[in-house]
Structure 1
Amino acid sequence: MELRGMTVVTGMVQLALGLTGVSGFALGRSGPLVLAPLLCILGFSIYRNAALLCSDHWGMAALAIVLLVILSQHLHSFLRLSVFPLCRKLCVLLSVMLTWGVCAALVKWGHVHLTSIAQILSTERVLNDTFIRSMNTMNSSNILSSNHIVPWLYFPLPASALPLLSGKSIAAGVAGGLSASVSSTAVYVVAARLLKAPVPPAHACNRGLCVDGLGSLITGLMGAPVGLCSSVPNACVIGLNQSGSRSTVQLAGVFLFILGVSPQLAQILCSVPLAIHGAVLCVTYTIAIATGITYFQHADVDSGRNIFNIGFTMFMSLALPRWFTLHSGFIQTGSPSVDVLLQSLLTLPVFFVGVLAFFLELTVSGTLSERGLLRRQGTNKIQSLADQQQGYSHSPDSVYDPPPLFIKLLELRGLRTVPFCACRTPNVEVVTVTVPEMSNLLGERDAGVNIT
């Protein structure tokens, strides 16, 4: 119940940050020296978990990694066929399927023992059923059986009880919402960079966070113990298959909906060994790190200011969360809710690096060229060199405009200001400039014609 309450609070925080435009405002003032450490730490923060998953069977994990590298990077070197683009677009799926098939064959023959999510859930279910049998004194027909049949189609219903909003669940939800918002913003930047598109404008970022918040609210009310956040591996797959579009995301959403209403298909996917999950994380999160490194080229990396900011931010974002994780009892303010909030925030490297990089970027003095920024000609607007050098000197609003139906929805009179004012595309003001000299020349030319 408390986990569901935490999920609901996480969604409320994400929704609030999206509706008020706080996240888009911060992203619009984040230059290359803020985005680079954020994306690098976003990738480095998962290496322990990825190694733990791969340790279930390093051989299968290595096989999946080798297949991913070959299908996405080396296949075009020795295969000049029209099938190569398709193999590259499906490199992750093909690698997982091939490795999964090898694992299934080896497990059937008894050569290896692999752990999957389905096995973990099955073990926990058996333990719970054993506990129920030992404690229940009622009729045995009321006892749950561990060998129940999973249906092919089952539409999930809302949970019978409301989530429990205790002090600890609210504190953990606030920390989770802030961290998920920073992580989602970083995922937007990664996807845009890999697609060679400009950094998302404020209104696009705000809309994304609103959708994440609504998703977390729904999952919490439906009974799920976790919230919704933009997926780093899904965005980084764009760097491997070199393809990405809005229709791809929509099609993925349809597949996820099918999996959500089919427990049998979901159970089949849960049978993928943990080593394969670790291999996919090892490959995809490296794309986030590399994308962050590319932002360093737009700033003056030889500047003493930038050297200190980059080194201090990245080191502290890895060292301090690790220390607070090992010393969980260090924070004792006397209020359990405040302790949970501070402990949750200080053990999240992504939130730590986002706040620290943004603070140092705004407080440590430096020129625009040092920070990888420039001022647009004739205006006071600051633009990132990362967008200018890729040819995006124009407004990115046209790239991130929502579908026409959604635009009409946001243009309704009741929704123009509250609550979706930060999610609407700003109106472009057309300025007409009158040049007196041209008018004079035109008058003189007309006068000359009349004279002759």
Structure 2
Amino acid sequence: MTENTDEVAETDGGDVTREEASFVEYGIEDKPPLGESIFLGLQHYLTMVGASVAVPLILAAEMGMPAWATAQLVGTFFVVSGISTLAQTTVGNRYPIVQGGSFALLAPALAIIAATSGGWEASLLEIQGAVIAAALVQVFLGYSGLLGRATKYLSPVVIAPVIVLIGLSLVGTADVTRVNQNWWLLGLTLFLIVLFSQYLDSYSRYAKLFPVLLGIATAWIFAGAMTVLGVYTEESHMLPTDKSLGYIDFGEIANATLVQPIVPFQWGMPEFTAAFAIGMLAGIFASIVESIGDYYAVARIAGVGAPSQKRINHGIGLEGLSNIFAGIMGTGNGSTSYGENVGAIGITGVASRYVVQIGAIVMLIVGFFGPFGALITTIPSPIVGALYIAMFGQIAAVGLSNLKFVDLDASRNVFIVGIALFLGLAIPEYMANVGAAAADIEGMTTTAYFQQEVMADTPLFGSVLGTQVVSDTIYVIGSTAMAVGGLIAFFLDNTIKGTREERGLAQWDRLAEDESEFQTVFDRLRSSDDSTVAETAD
């Protein structure tokens, strides 16, 4: 177990040194007892339940999948998440980050669905092919080292707004802001998480380690009791009341298939269309930016050095392989690092890689078990909303903490951070408004891509949108807050005059891990072989 003692934060010369986070209960290399690790790992996965269930449900609804296929799709997401997380924590960047379906890939996936005829099977096979093809580029960028070399141009002035925007990206999500929100249930969940993590943590070790799990379980049981008592009821109309937002349909669990046959190419062989692959590539780029931000965030929370180029290369390369694997398994989406998991580390102080691996094994197994997936989908929206508030608020604060290395008296830094944050929030909002306008014109309820007829009339895009590929690419990147903010901050920070000390690079270099500190699986195998040879020689 990691001792809760801080290392010296400053030397006599005023240089910043690595500082171990005082709240970390279990460090990256620590291995808690197995029984405890199972619950800690489950807690990590429960924090991402909103996204891990929302993505397949959105895809299934848009494709018109039948109930049995939807349940199998959710299970497939769990299985792919479990295997991808094990791979990332073992042979990838080896950070304790959960891997799962990406919202960045959702927009191009929905565009493919809208452009494909032939039923849900045809749409899903086209999405699978697009994900696999686009992921090949991600694998090349990672393992070729090109992406890592580009990170030398990343300073805290760039990374801080990216992480902050990851934290603020779900501010407007319906799980939090819907007009008919069940604030009683959301407030109860949030109150319990705050109670366990901030007030009772010094009195109870369980409250310190399991604040999210205890908060979710208690609120979930409360919602179930209100459902049984008839306080929370199922509504049949399109806009549910606040009561229906706490309703739990126990019938979904009872009717679930006991064992789901989740195998490669379960829906058929993927189809490859160049235009779809290019559109999906925009989502891959947005996902890469988000993942790099997550790497820096988890390193900052866990109190370890900023990730080296070598670690970033292997992390992104492995995510590319995981995307290919997701395409083969047929999730209709890819795999990326989950910010919710990073936020959970900040709240619980559990940064153990071993814990995340145990959780991944649990999710891999239960993914084949239909009733478990059905049980997870019954978590009411207000409980998920409370999770978002707690988790993503924590991530935003972690992003701001990176500014401690930056000279905030330098006007260039304040300007860059401010404009990156504002445009990182404003441009995606603009994209959403354009999409809504297109939806109204087309008579649709939702849209995830530009209607070119609408965009052609806008002053900015009228002269550049010649193809659907261009419009989809602009939409995906422009709709992703961390991609917009990151690209703007990256450009300004590397073009506006500023010293390395002002930008925080000088102090960050002293904190960053050396390239030799991160050992790939091949390095570890080579070291093991050398040790064996040396022992034999002795």
**TM-score band (shorter)?**
0.7 to 0.9
Shift of 1:247: 0.8
State the Cα deviation string for residues 390-445 of structure 1 (Å, max 9, x = none).
xx4762642x3345x67337999xxxxxxxxxxxxxxxxxxxxxxxxxxxxxxxxx
2:156, 2:504 within 8 Å by CA — same for their partners in 1? yes
Equivalence for 1:59: 184
Cα 1:29–1:63 shift into 2, 3 Å: same
1:97 and 2:217 matched:
yes
Aligned AA for 2:466?
G
| 1:267-323 alpha-carbon deviations (Å, 9 max, x no partner) | 111111121111111110111110111111211112121122111111111112211
State the Cα RMSD in Å.
2.9
Deviation at 1:157, TM superposition (A): 4.0
CA contact (8 A) 2:407 2:504 kept: yes
Pick aligned residue for 2:145 from 15, 21, 35: 21
TM-score, L = length of structure 1? 0.75
Matched, 1:71 2:191: no
Which is higher, the Rg of structure 1 or of structure 2? 1
Instruction: Say if 1:54 and 1:274, in contact at 8 Å, map to a contact too.
Output: no
Letter in 2 for 1:59: W
> Residue type of the partner of 1:224?
T
Q: Which of 481, 484, 488 is residue 356 of structure 1 equivalent to?
A: 488
| Correspondent of 2:476 among 319, 332, 344 | 344
Offset of residue 386 of structure 1 = 4.2
Q: For each residue in 1:189-226, what CA deviation from the matched residue of structure 2 results, as whole angstroms up to 9, or x when unmatched?
A: 11110000011111111111122212211111212112
Say whether the 8 Å CA contact 1:30–1:358 is kept in structure 2: yes
Residue matched to 2:331: 224
Q: In structure 2, how many angstroms separate the alpha carbons of the residues matched to 1:410 and 1:211?
A: 22
**Which deviates more from structure 2 when the two are superposed, residues 180-189 or residues 110-119?**
110-119
Superposed, 1:1-400 pairs within 5 Å as 1=123, 2-49=126-173, 50-52=175-177, 56-76=181-201, 79=203, 84-113=204-233, 114-115=244-245, 149-152=256-259, 154-328=261-435, 329-330=454-455, 331=461, 333-374=465-506, 385-386=507-508, 388=510, 392=511, 395=514, 397-398=516-517, 400=518
Paired with 1:56 and 1:104, the residues of 2 have a C-alpha distance of 18
Counterpart residue identity of residue 233, structure 1: E
2 CA distance for matches of 1:43 and 1:117?
28
Instruction: Tell which deviates more after alignment, 107-116 or 194-203.
Output: 107-116
Secondary structure of residue in 1 paired with 2:263 = coil
Check whether the contact 2:343–2:391 (CA below 8 A) recurs between aligned residues.
yes
Compute the displacement of 1:155 (Å). 4.2
How far is the alpha carbon of 1:325 from its aligned partner? 2.3
Write the distance in 2 (CA, Å) between the matches of 1:116 and 1:199.
41
What are the ranges of 5 or more consecutive residues in structure 2 without an aligned counterpart? 1-122, 234-243, 436-453, 456-460, 530-538
Q: For the structure 1 residues 337 and 276, does the alpha-carbon distance in structure 2 shift closer, same or farther, using more than 3 Å as the test?
A: same
Alpha-carbon separation, structure 1, partners of 2:336 and 2:513:
30
Residue type of the partner of 1:372?
G
In the comparison of the two structures, how many residue pairs are matched? 369
Could you tell me which amino acid in structure 2 is paired with residue 42 of structure 1?
I
Q: Displacement, 1:237?
A: 0.7
* Residues 198 and 387 in structure 1, CA contact (< 8 A), matched pair in contact too: no
CA contact (8 A) 1:8 1:173 kept: no
